[in-house]
């Protein structure tokens, strides 16, 4: 057993540079001869571009180039694409409107890129942007999702309506039959609010074309540099893949928003070529980030749950309208479909489920994956619906859930919405959460609050998620345009030190630490001897990147496999050195030993022999370096129970979270400290969604919440200290490590726990974000506001 291996609470390798101000984020990088880019963005939600006069701007001091959509077209660059083809009920493919790097005929949302100005200094570029004259003809905007179908205006003239697709999943006839014999039906209408991911590091990119080498380098805030390289070469055509290096250095948070391939990063690379190889740098300011980062969520749903007379779930029926924004972003189509509809069984053995989803274009920023991506929408819907059912039939919400859980003996469990859950023990996480929060003692605590004039509420959320989308063959059959495997390379040096290269990318998750623990354990070498390398297409093997809580379950397993190959090679070398049969060599704690003897060779000796093969097995290649690709046989399914206990002040409608208990089953855990940190962050984002955050457009399509003065981010005094338990996991069968993934759970499970607690406190449900105003208004409309005086 190595000291800092699997399961150890190891401090992070990456911290030294961040706590001393020596991190290296994209905007920290400055290149020789660098020019600066500023994007001119549409002030209108929907407008025809009749012409752009760049003459005055081009004549301004320091200006190197002013480029528009016509230049993009003239250079034959392709459009941005959505990489997942979803089909409608009738079998027809989704309608993907063209998404140019710079707007051509029309601008389709406030913030749409209309031109780029490249100048010697950032100030000169800003000044010149003011001098670009765009002749806009304003068109009627499509803003409200509920009215997108008959808005009287088309976001994409090429498509007959604003409907991108009308998708369904499940056995409609079976669901209808179950509803017909239901003893009780619970119905709910709910909104899943639109959110802005808000990684604190704004997006940035530096494009550099080297005319001497005919080679391109892009530094970019990316969660998946190889996916950037692929899309930019195969679809946009800005550079051939073998001549494009994409580097994602330190990245200051992503939460999904840095998965996508955006126009800006393609443009700076192209612009560098246009200005004869000067590096071109662009960094978004926060206002641009609000306008142009892909947003998340934005669903309007109607859901129904059919129950028998004992509270058993018979069937569920869901209709959802999803907002795609003005263009289909990189993975946008699969979020409200394959990452949403497929999760609607939750933790329950509901035998029949049907869901249909209409996805619409609107004149708003594109909507795509944001932490959880589809799964928070599913979990929020199920868990508020179940809570309402419990309230309607007069059953304890914990007991109604328990009654309907998939029992731990039923795994692997096939749901009626396509997925096969690997492992789980939902009663165990529920019981632990109820015990920790003292569920039974709530009535007494509520009475105590009441004496102080406060309304106390408690809310449960039993979430499930699916991490590490796979296998590639299955996701391919569902429309994915890429494979969803991951890669690794593990390389010993002469001196026994290891470089572990991964195709995933760390932007806060601590892979440099967790992956080093894993490799250290697998190879029996000190943790300090392992260096993890990621984020550079010219260093690491081709990888798919980090999203969907996949890095450990898919990328970690690829590393484990590469380590296994090294051990197998080492066994051959050790057998030779020890003059023993390979079958008799045991590997443990970094030593190859002849079974039943004390004759052994250390990993270090074996590695040295592999590089200095003077006495070496015949026919064996020298060197100790192995690669592996891993395509998982299934998703992994983390699950857990969250409980929120809060107080509402009826005089102001303000909510104070008193306790938040999270009990998660992530399977096996490599670094509990990092896992708990991931949960904390997810919880704050989930609580933010429930209480504070919401992107709001006015009727004309102007973003009203375009800064931190207007969009309410959770701050330190908005959230409590969390009580997080990640013990007693059920190991996944989808990988040899038994791990499941933990990055998104908090954001998936938290919103329903908070909203159910508010409903429990005030007697009616309010839509997210449950601001003091909404809560106060709801209380005024409540028939018997017990404690309102």
Partner 1 sequence: MKVSMSVNGKQVSGEAEPRTLLVEFLRYELGLTGTHVGCDTSQCGACVVHVNGSSVKSCTMLAVQAEGAEVTTIEGMATGDELHPLQAAFREHHGLQCGFCTPGMIMSAADLLKTNPAPSEHEVREWLEGNICRCTGYHNIVKAILAAADTMRGAARAAE
Least Cβ distance, residue 717 to partner 1 (angstroms): 4
Relative to beta strand 352-361, strand 313-325 is parallel
Task: Report the residue number, 14 or 171, with the smaller CB distance to partner 1.
Answer: 14
- The phi, psi pair for 768, rounded to 5°, reads -75, 145
With 0-12 CB in 10 A as exposed, 13-18 as middle and 19+ as buried, what is 212? Answer: exposed
**Nearer Cβ to partner 1 (147/452):** 452
Q: Around Cβ 183, how many Cβ atoms within 10 Å?
A: 13
Per-residue CA distances from 439 to 68, 426, 679 (Å): 61, 17, 22
Shortest spacing between CB 255 and partner 1, in angstroms: 7
Cβ proximity to partner 1, 526 vs 677, nearer residue: 677
Pairing of strands 244-247, 280-283: unpaired
Of the pair 122, 580, the CB lying nearest partner 1 is at 122
Q: How far is the CB of 633 from partner 1 (least distance, A)?
A: 30
- Write down the least CB distance from residue 544 to partner 1, Å: 20
Which residues form the interface with partner 1 (CB under 8 A)? 11-12, 14-25, 27-28, 30, 123, 198-202, 250-253, 255, 285-287, 507-510, 673-674, 676-678, 680-685, 707-709, 713-717, 719, 721-722, 746
Peptide bond before residue 607 is cis, with ω within 30 degrees of 0: no
Min. distance of Cβ 123 from partner 1 in angstroms? 7
Least distance to partner 1, CB of residue 199, Å: 6
Q: Does the CA dihedral 554-235-63-276 come out positive or negative?
A: positive
Cα–Cα nearest to 242, from 216, 224, 223: 216
Pick between residue 19 and residue 583 the one whose CB is nearest to partner 1.
19
The smaller minimum CB distance to partner 1, of residues 502 and 678, is found at 678
In DSSP notation, 596-636 reads TSS-EEEHHHHHHHHHS-SS--TT---S-EEEEEE--SS-B
- Given its phi and psi angles, is residue 76 left (phi above 0), alpha (psi -120 to 50 degrees) or beta? left
- CB of residue 619 to partner 1, shortest distance in Å: 48
Q: How far is the CB of 723 from partner 1 (least distance, A)?
A: 10
**What gap in Å lies between CA 37 and CA 166, rounded to an integer?**
39
**Stretch (H or E) spanning 445:** helix 442-451
**Residue 542: CB minimum distance to partner 1, A:** 24
The answer to whether residues 487 and 543 touch, using CB atoms and an 8 Å cutoff, is: yes
Intra-chain end-to-end CA distance of the chain, in Å:
63
Nearer to partner 1, 11 or 74 (CB): 11
Minimal distance in Å, beta carbon 592 to partner 1?
36
Give me the residues paired with residue 322 across strands.
299, 359
What count of other Cβ atoms lies within 10 Å of the Cβ of residue 349?
Answer: 17
623 sits in the region (left: phi over 0; alpha: psi -120 to 50; else beta) called left
Q: Which is nearer to partner 1, 317 or 534 (CB)?
A: 534
Rank residues 194 and 274 by Cβ distance to partner 1 and give the closer one: 194
Nearer to partner 1, 124 or 186 (CB): 124
């Amino acid at each position: 057993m190595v000291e800092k291996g699997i399961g150890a609470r190891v401090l992070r390798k990456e911290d030294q540079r961040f706590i001393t101000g020596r991190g290296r984020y994209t905007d920290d990088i400055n290149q020789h001869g660098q020019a600066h880019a500023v994007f001119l963005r549409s002030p209108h939600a929907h407008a025809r571009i009749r012409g752009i006069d760049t003459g005055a701007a081009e004549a301004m001091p320091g200006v190197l180039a002013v480029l528009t959509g016509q230049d993009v077209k003239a250079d034959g660059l392709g459009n941005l694409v959505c990489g997942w083809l979803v089909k409608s009920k009738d079998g027809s493919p989704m309608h993907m409107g063209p998404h140019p790097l710079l707007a051509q005929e029309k601008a389709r949302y406030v913030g749409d890129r209309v031109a780029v100005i490249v100048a010697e200094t950032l100030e000169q570029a800003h000044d010149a942007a003011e001098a670009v004259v765009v002749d806009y003809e304003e068109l009627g905007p499509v803003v409200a999702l509920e009215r997108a179908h008959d808005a009287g205006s088309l976001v994409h003239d090429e498509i007959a309506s604003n409907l991108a697709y009308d998708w369904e999943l499940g056995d409609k006839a079976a669901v209808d039959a179950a509803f017909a014999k239901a003893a009780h039906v619970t119905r709910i209408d709910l909104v899943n609010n639109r959110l802005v991911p808000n990684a604190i590091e704004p997006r940035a990119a530096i494009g550099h074309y080297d005319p001497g080498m005919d080679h391109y380098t892009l530094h970019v805030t990316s969660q998946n540099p190889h996916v950037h390289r692929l899309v930019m070469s195969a679809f946009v055509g800005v550079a051939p893949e073998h001549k494009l290096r994409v580097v994602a250095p330190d990245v200051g948070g992503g939460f999904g928003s840095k998965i996508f391939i955006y126009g800006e990063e393609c443009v700076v690379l192209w612009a560098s070529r246009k200005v004869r190889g000067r590096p071109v740098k662009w960094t978004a300011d926060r206002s641009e980030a609000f306008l142009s980062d892909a947003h998340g969520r934005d669903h309007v749903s109607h859901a129904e749950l059919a129950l028998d007379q004992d509270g058993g779930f018979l069937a569920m029926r869901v209709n959802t309208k999803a907002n795609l924004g003005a263009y289909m972003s990189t993975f946008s189509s699969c979020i409200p479909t394959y990452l949403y509809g497929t999760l609607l069984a939750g933790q329950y053995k509901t035998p029949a489920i049907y869901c249909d989803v209409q996805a619409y274009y609107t004149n708003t920023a594109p909507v795509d994956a944001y932490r959880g991506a589809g799964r928070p929408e599913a979990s929020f819907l199920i868990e508020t619906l179940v809570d309402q059912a419990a309230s309607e039939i007069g059953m304890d919400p914990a007991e109604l859930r328990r009654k309907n859980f998939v029992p731990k003996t039923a795994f692997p469990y096939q749901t009626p919405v396509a997925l096969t859950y690997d492992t789980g023990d939902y009663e165990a996480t529920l019981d632990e959460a109820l015990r920790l929060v003292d569920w039974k003692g709530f009535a007494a605590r509520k009475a105590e609050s009441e004496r102080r004039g406060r309304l106390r509420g408690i809310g449960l959320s039993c979430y499930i998620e699916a991490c590490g989308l796979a296998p590639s063959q299955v996701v391919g059959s569902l429309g994915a345009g890429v494979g969803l495997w991951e890669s690794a390379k593990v390389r010993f040096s002469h001196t026994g030190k290891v470089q572990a290269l991964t195709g995933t990318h760390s932007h806060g998750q601590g892979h440099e630490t967790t992956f080093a623990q894993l490799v250290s354990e697998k190879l029996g070498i000190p943790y300090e001897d392992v260096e993890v390398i990621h984020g550079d297409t010219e260093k690491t093997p081709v990888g798919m990147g980090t999203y969907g809580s996949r890095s450990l379950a898919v990328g970690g397993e690829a590393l484990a496999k590469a380590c296994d190959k090294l051990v197998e090679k080492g066994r051959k070398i050790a057998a030779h050195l020890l003059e023993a049969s390979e079958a008799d060599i045991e590997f443990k704690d970094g030593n190859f030993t002849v079974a039943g003897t004390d004759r052994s060779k250390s990993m270090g000796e074996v590695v040295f022999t592999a590089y200095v093969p003077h006495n070496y097995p015949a026919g064996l290649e020298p060197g100790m370096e192995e690669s592996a690709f891993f395509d998982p046989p299934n998703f992994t399914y983390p699950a857990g129970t969250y409980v929120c206990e809060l107080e509402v002040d009826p005089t102001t409608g303000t909510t104070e979270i008193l306790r938040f208990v999270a009990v998660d089953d992530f399977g096996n855990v490599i670094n509990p400290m990092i896992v708990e940190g991931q949960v904390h962050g997810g919880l704050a984002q989930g609580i933010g969604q429930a209480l504070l955050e919401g992107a709001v457009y006015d009727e004309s399509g102007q973003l009203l919440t375009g800064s931190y003065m207007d969009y309410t981010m959770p701050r330190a005094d908005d959230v409590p200290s969390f009580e997080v338990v990640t013990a007693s996991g059920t190991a996944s069968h989808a990988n040899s490590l038994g791990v499941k993934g933990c990055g998104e759970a908090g954001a998936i499970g938290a919103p329903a726990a908070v909203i159910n607690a508010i409903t429990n406190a005030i007697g009616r449900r309010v839509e997210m974000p449950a601001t003091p105003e909404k809560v106060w208004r709801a209380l005024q409309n409540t028939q018997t506001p017990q404690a309102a005086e």
